[in-house]
Amino acid sequence: MSITEITGMEGEVIATQEIYRFHRKGISPEGQVVGQFEGTGIRPVFAERLRTAGVALPDNLFDEY
- Specify the number of domains making up the chain: 1
- What is d(CA 1, CA 61) in angstroms, rounded to the nearest whole number? 18
Digit-coded pLDDT (tens) for 44-53: 999 999 999 9
Q: Which domain holds residue 41?
A: 2-52
Task: Establish if 23 belongs to a structural domain.
Answer: yes
In this prediction, residues 2-27 reach a mean pLDDT of: 95
Residue 59 pLDDT level (bands cut at 50, 70, 90): confident
Task: Establish if 60 belongs to a structural domain.
Answer: no
Residue type, 39: G
pTM for this structure? 0.77
- What is d(CA 39, CA 20) in angstroms, rounded to the nearest whole number? 4
pLDDT the model gives residue 65? 78
Residue 54 has pLDDT above 90, yes or no: yes
Residue 12 has pLDDT above 90, yes or no: yes
